[in-house]
Amino acid sequence: MTAHAEWKSYNYTDTYEAYIDYSRIRTEGQYKSTWDLIDYKSPQTDASGKQFKSAALKNIIDCQASRRQLVAIYQYSEQMGKGKVVSSGNSSQIIESDWKYPPPNSIGDNLIQIACGRK
């Protein structure tokens, strides 16, 4: 999945660096979809106890309401979306209660700003 992506950094902290694939920002009806990659500086552990070092995420973005929804996640054993897929999950439905309204200047807000052409 990540082999042909053109990841560009858009957010970082002491814990991770976030990348977005600008070439895969798409319009899907009234929404935008994005793929971003979170590259962790040290291994993370998910709820089932599996360790992963990076995660690729598909988000649906509502530019009018400045909100986003995670619809797919793939957690990888190595950094930058490499290695084995440790766990994954996806949904083809947009669920009204799953929308997130990220605070200004957060990673989610930065993602919305990029997807909606505001940055």
The domain limits of the chain are: 7-115
pLDDT class for 97, splitting at 50, 70, 90? confident
Q: What is the pLDDT of residues 6-38, one digit of tens each?
A: 889 999 999 999 999 999 999 988 999 999 999
Measuring CA to CA, how many Å separate 100 from each of 42, 50, 71? Answer: 26, 25, 12
pLDDT class for 96, splitting at 50, 70, 90? confident
Question: 7-115 belongs to which CATH class?
Answer: mainly beta
- What type of residue is 11? N
Exposed, middle or buried by CB within 10 Å (0-12, 13-18, 19+), for 81? buried
pTM: 0.87
User: 93 versus 49: which is more confidently predicted?
Assistant: 49
Measuring CA to CA, how many Å separate 116 from each of 30, 43, 49, 52, 80? Answer: 11, 31, 35, 30, 24
Residue 95 makes CB contacts below 8 A (sequence gap 6+) with 69
User: 15 versus 92: which is more confidently predicted?
Assistant: 15
Predicted pLDDT at 28: 86
What is the distance between the terminal CA atoms of the chain, rounded to a whole angstrom?
26
Least confident of 4-8, 20-24, 83-87, 88-92: 4-8
